[in-house]
Amino acid sequence: VTLPPQADAETGGTRPRTIPEASVTRLALYLRVLGELAKLRKDLSYIGSYGIRGVGYEVVSLSVELGRALGLDQMQSVALVGVGNLGHALAGYPGFGGRGFPVTALFDVDPDLVGIRINGIVVDHVREIPRVCGERNVTIGVLATPAQAAQAACDLLVGAGVRCILNFAPAVLQVSADVEVRKVDLAVELQVLAFHNARRHGGEHPGAVAGTGGTRGHSESGHGVNGHAVGRVGGTR
Amino acid sequence: VTLPPQADAETGGTRPRTIPEASVTRLALYLRVLGELAKLRKDLSYIGSYGIRGVGYEVVSLSVELGRALGLDQMQSVALVGVGNLGHALAGYPGFGGRGFPVTALFDVDPDLVGIRINGIVVDHVREIPRVCGERNVTIGVLATPAQAAQAACDLLVGAGVRCILNFAPAVLQVSADVEVRKVDLAVELQVLAFHNARRHGGEHPGAVAGTGGTRGHSESGHGVNGHAVGRVGGTR
DNA sequence: ACCTGTGAAGATTTTCACAGCA
DNA sequence: TGCTGTGAAAATCTTCACAGGT
């Protein structure tokens, strides 16, 4: 199969009068994507030359290469520590299991939680981390514990050989240099949203945003800051 | 109170022999922060000139101005739609209520959930969105519903006058141009983590990452939720 | 004819260095 | 003297335009 870049530019033959609602939704997405085509090709070129000149990209082989570049060919296996509300939600989040990161182990300290099954996986006690992570070849640890339990859980994972930690707990972790930790702050996007909103509707504020200049008037996760450049800022420009 | 930039550079008088463990942890944080001082001052300069030359920043007034620039002076009020596991977790997430975004309304369609209290707030039926959001002056809506319910919930919020939507549901939303939607994908950071890991430990891959060059060898790298993550890692210096 | 791959131009962000004030 | 504020340089990212295959 090949990806014909202008699949939607019908030539003008017979066509149904009405466009299905679901299709309209996707068309809006395509429009946005279309505006980023140059960037897309550049991005793909960074992982190598896997397209066919004059034709397009062969979907299967491109997918394979993209997956390889993203490390998805390396059989990831995720352990999730902390099965409270957030952990429970993450265990069932489609973006985890569905995109190459199967959650294969769950841990908690709460006796009420240890033993229950979530999505077919039994919750083990945190003290089992060394054994279970070894057995299931865990490569990524996700922390969804309360703040005060995060460091201990992290240490257990690292001790079990896990070298990638995704930290949802509101705590800063201390790890040795060979471990990569990424901290997720669920409120950051909220701040950004409030910031943009303050400029659009709110009272006058100093400063003016640098502005991406090129937003194509779309309303997704955006920039779209209205340029009421009230007040003064960095003098430049 | 002022912020003395070199608070830790003691002159050499009497000093305790041992440094408290908790302090050591924070010192590591300071070191990282120190490396970003130039950037920090530049960032602050964008919102205006609120420092005192030769002295530092007056903490209280700087906080006020920073909060104003971020729109936190405008009495935000958050409504959360979808009180499943994720919604429940968000309702209790310290970064929401704790940082100027009090959750003042909760909604769901599940009869088992409607009526219960979470953090002192009663869960209302989704059909109450127009009334309740109006009464409580909701300015930001957070969606934590299943994918198929997200658009309907979004429409209700917009109909109630909400112009900022933070979308945790795995669905792309259609909104008019005056509404700002930010989509949060909880798996994006996982992908980035796997990508970096693939290069450090995994087999050989083509290409080399652009590399920001300046990471001072520290292991935090926390960005927000969405994919604004900059490429760093191994390969190029 | 058409689409990829990529050097180069353009735009933006980060870092540097120093002027200016307390 | 010391620290902020900021223009200018350096680094980085994005967009453009066209060479090179098919």
What pLDDT, in 10s, does the model give residues A155-205? Answer: 999 999 999 999 999 998 999 989 999 999 998 889 889 888 887 776 443
pLDDT digits (tens, 9 = 90+) for B178-197: 999 999 999 888 988 988 88
More confident residue, A21 or B140: B140
- The partner residue sitting opposite A190, judged by closest CB among B140, B200, B222, is B140
**Residue B192 CB lies within 7 Å of the nucleic strand D:** no
Predicted local distance difference test score (pLDDT) of residue B212? 37
Residue B204 CA distance to nucleotide D20 C1' (Å): 28
Average pLDDT value for chain A: 78
Strand partners, B142: B80, B166
Pick the residue of A186, A204, A216 with the most B CBs within 10 A to test the interface with B by mutation: A186
Residue B83 CA distance to nucleotide D7 C1' (Å): 51
Smallest Cα–C1' distance to nucleotide C2: which residue has it? A54
Tell me what the mean pLDDT of segment A9-15 comes to: 45
Predicted local distance difference test score (pLDDT) of residue B206? 39
CA-nearest of B132, B167, B136, B173 to B152 is B173
Pick the residue of B118, B173, B220 with the most A CBs within 10 A to test the interface with A by mutation: B220
Flag the least confident range among A34-43, A164-173, B52-61, B101-110.
A34-43
Residue A77's pLDDT band, with cuts at 50, 70 and 90, is very high
Predicted local distance difference test score (pLDDT) of residue B17? 63
More confident residue, A220 or A64: A64
Distance CA A74, CA B173 (A): 33
Q: Quick one: DSSP state of residue A126?
A: G
Predicted local distance difference test score (pLDDT) of residue B116? 97
More confident residue, B144 or A27: B144
**Residue A236 CB lies within 7 Å of the nucleic strand C:** no
pTM for the full predicted model: 0.77
pLDDT digits (tens, 9 = 90+) for B89-136: 999 998 898 888 999 999 999 999 999 999 999 999 999 999 999 999
The pLDDT of residue A94 is above 90:
no
Residue B16's pLDDT band, with cuts at 50, 70 and 90, is low
Å between B13 CA and nearest CA of chain A = 30
Tokens of A16: 């149904």
**Residue A206 CB lies within 7 Å of the nucleic strand D:** no
Tell me what the mean pLDDT of segment A31-49 comes to: 84
Residue B36's pLDDT band, with cuts at 50, 70 and 90, is confident
Smallest Cα–C1' distance to nucleotide D3: which residue has it? B54
Nucleotides of D under 7 A from a protein CB: 1-7, 11-17, 20-22
Task: Tell me the residue length of chain B.
Answer: 237
Tell me what the mean pLDDT of segment A135-161 comes to: 97
The pLDDT of residue B226 is above 90:
no
- The partner residue sitting opposite B170, judged by closest CB among A95, A200, A220, is A95
Residue B233's pLDDT band, with cuts at 50, 70 and 90, is very low
Smallest Cα–C1' distance to nucleotide C5: which residue has it? A45
Predicted local distance difference test score (pLDDT) of residue B99? 85
Distance CA B151, CA B169 (A): 9
More confident residue, A36 or B210: A36
The pLDDT of residue A29 is above 60:
yes
Question: Using an 8 Å Cβ cutoff, are B138 and B104 in contact?
Answer: yes
Predicted local distance difference test score (pLDDT) of residue B82? 98
Tell me what the mean pLDDT of segment B1-16 comes to: 42
Share of chain A above pLDDT 70, in %: 77
Radius of gyration for chain B, computed over Cα atoms and rounded to the nearest angstrom: 23
Q: Where are the alpha helices (DSSP H) in B13-159?
A: 21-34, 37-47, 59-69, 85-92, 94-97, 129-135, 147-159
Share of chain B above pLDDT 70, in %: 75
CB contact (8 A) between residue A187 and residue B95? yes
Å between B202 CA and nearest CA of chain A = 7
Pick the residue of B182, B226, B228 with the most A CBs within 10 A to test the interface with A by mutation: B182
The DSSP element (H or E) to which B179 belongs, if any, is none
Predicted local distance difference test score (pLDDT) of residue A16? 62
B190 to chain A: closest CA residue? A166
CB contact (8 A) between residue B219 and residue A175? yes
How would you class B138 by CB atoms within 10 Å of its CB: exposed for 0-12, middle for 13-18, buried for 19 or more? buried
